[in-house]
Amino acid sequence: MPRSISIPDRFCRKVAQTLVAHDMVQPGDAVLVAVSGGPDSMALVRVLTHVAPEFELRIGLAHLNHGLRGPDADHDQAFVQQFADGHGLPCVSEIRDVKRLARETGNSLEEAGRNARYDFFSRTAADHGYTRIATGHTRDDNAEQVLMALVRGSGSKGLSGIPAKRGPMIIRPLIDRSRQEIIDFLAALNQAYITDDSNQDPVFLRNRIRSHLIPLLEKHYNPNIRQGLHRLSRILGEETCFLEDHTCRAFDRCVEKKGPDAVFLSIPGLVALHPALIPRVIRHGILHVKTNLRRITHDHMTAIQDLAADSAPGKHLDLPDRIRVYKTRGRLCIRKETLPLRQLGRMHKQSTRIPPKA
């Protein structure tokens, strides 16, 4: 009979398999573990320190105090620091005023918090010589993400959920593990963690999905819905990758001229593409002049395609972040303007504004 393997050992083995399967680390890597103090990131740091000798990794911790929950946030920061000290691990923490960042950028608190975190992680990694940044996202987080994308009506990219890796640095070693496995692992180690009451607040869509929609789907439709959603996201992730590849090639064929602030796409070239590729190539064009696609909605994309198909000359569209789209000599031009569009609007007669999404 095989010797029974303990819960912590089994858990660590499974995470080690994820590290290998997704090629997440190389011997000699220095891994900065993003630790909020919650169950997932505490499990992450415990498992990574356990497998560090086998994978030849150096481990350190990073904690961001969002300055949002008053004394609770200070307590979380102290908890993470004490854990690091107790385990002889280096820890970098920082306090950011996320409320102010949200006000200044017009982003939601959630988005401002996320931006502040990833900015802090990358700076810390660069300053301290870390080669990877590990976050504690789990399979359950991914299932919630997919459902959020579904209820918001996102496309296949949104439905691809949380990737196991992002760019050359960010890794998510717990992405194939469930929340229950994590709780069992922590209980077996007698490891304390912080519970964040805001995770229950129904104001946030994610919390309503976690505590209402998923249990409902599990009870009445599919007891394995989380695994199903996770699988769906992985399939769509692969297919999205494949389509992205085609998009890049189609984009190169359609581009007639490009500079740092503008790209000109051949309209006959666009029209000849498979309909699934047209919005993708246009998005690629927007990304050429704008670093991200935030605030570019489905309505914007439809309006751009309508503009390309419209035979009337002289029209243009104003998109967020000073992006102007117009037609010129059989080409669709996507341009990042230097002047505010309001000022430019007075210089053009026909402008179509797309109302921001409610």
Ligand X SMILES: Nc1ncnc2c1ncn2[C@@H]1O[C@H](COP(=O)(O)OP(=O)(O)OP(=O)(O)O)[C@@H](O)[C@H]1O
Shortest Cβ distance from residue 230 to ligand X (Å)?
15
Q: What is the DSSP letter of 199?
A: G
What is the number of alpha carbons within 13 Å of residue 70 lying toward its C-beta? 0
Q: Which amino acid is at 352?
A: T
Choose between 84 and 317: whose C-beta lies nearer to ligand X.
Answer: 84
What is the number of alpha carbons within 13 Å of residue 238 lying toward its C-beta? 5
3-state SS, residue 129: coil
Q: Which amino acid is at 110?
A: E
- Of 85, 33, 88, the C-alpha closest to 63 is 33
The secondary structure element, H or E, covering residue 134 is: strand 132-134
Shortest Cβ distance from residue 39 to ligand X (Å)?
5
Choose between 120 and 264: whose C-beta lies nearer to ligand X.
Answer: 120
Q: Which amino acid is at 303?
A: A
Shortest Cβ distance from residue 148 to ligand X (Å)?
12
* Radius of gyration of the chain from its Cα atoms, rounded to whole angstroms: 23
3-state SS, residue 101: helix
38 belongs to an annotated ligand binding site: yes
Choose between 186 and 263: whose C-beta lies nearer to ligand X.
Answer: 186
Choose between 101 and 296: whose C-beta lies nearer to ligand X.
Answer: 101
Shortest Cβ distance from residue 246 to ligand X (Å)?
32
Shortest Cβ distance from residue 120 to ligand X (Å)?
8
Shortest Cβ distance from residue 281 to ligand X (Å)?
33
122 belongs to an annotated ligand binding site: no
28 belongs to an annotated ligand binding site: no
Give burial (CB, 10 Å; 0-12/13-18/19+) of 115: middle
Shortest Cβ distance from residue 62 to ligand X (Å)?
6
Choose between 38 and 158: whose C-beta lies nearer to ligand X.
Answer: 38
40 belongs to an annotated ligand binding site: yes
Positions in the binding site for ligand X (CB under 6 A): 34-36, 38-41, 62-64, 117, 135-137, 141, 196, 199
Other CB atoms closer than 10 Å to residue 260's CB: what's the count?
A: 8
Q: Distance between CA 141 and CA 148 in Å, rounded? A: 10
Q: Distance between CA 43 and CA 37 in Å, rounded? A: 9
Choose between 29 and 40: whose C-beta lies nearer to ligand X.
Answer: 40
3-state SS, residue 353: strand
Hey, what are 225's tokens? 């819905």
Shortest Cβ distance from residue 51 to ligand X (Å)?
17
163 belongs to an annotated ligand binding site: no
List the helix and strand counts (H, then E) for the chain: 15, 12
DSSP 155-181: -HHHHT-S-SEETTTEE-TTTTS-HHH
- Of 91, 89, 94, the C-alpha closest to 119 is 94
37 belongs to an annotated ligand binding site: yes
- Residue 241's contacts (CB-CB under 8 Å, 6 or more residues apart) are none
Choose between 64 and 254: whose C-beta lies nearer to ligand X.
Answer: 64
Choose between 38 and 345: whose C-beta lies nearer to ligand X.
Answer: 38
Q: What is the DSSP letter of 355?
A: P
Binding residues for ATP: 36-41
Binding residues: 36-41
